[in-house]
Amino acid sequence: MTASDLIGTLGVSTLLVAFVLNQRGLLSERSRTFLAMNMTGALLCGWSAWLVRFMPFVVLEGVWAAVSAWGLLRWRPQPRT
């Protein structure tokens, strides 16, 4: 397994775990954990794509990571109902 394969596998796994936890109702899409997992996964996937020089995926993952980072910067606790 190459470095790009390992990095990409970790990134995709992080994104998928966040997605599955969200779909199962265990992790809100507005939580810091979800946003951090998305940012981390996207950064790892983007890095992997950079290593193999696949620029369309670098752009996609870069935007994904930036949007997640923006969400983390703007994050506020949700009021309890």
Domain locations in the chain? 3-73
User: Tokens 């923006």 sit at which residue?
Assistant: 70
Instruction: Specify the pTM.
Output: 0.90
Task: pLDDT band for 61, please (50, 70, 90 cuts).
Answer: very high
Task: Specify the residue for token string 């910067």.
Answer: 73
Among candidate residues 24, 16, 17, 32, the one with its CA nearest the CA of residue 72: 32
* Averaged pLDDT, 46-64: 97
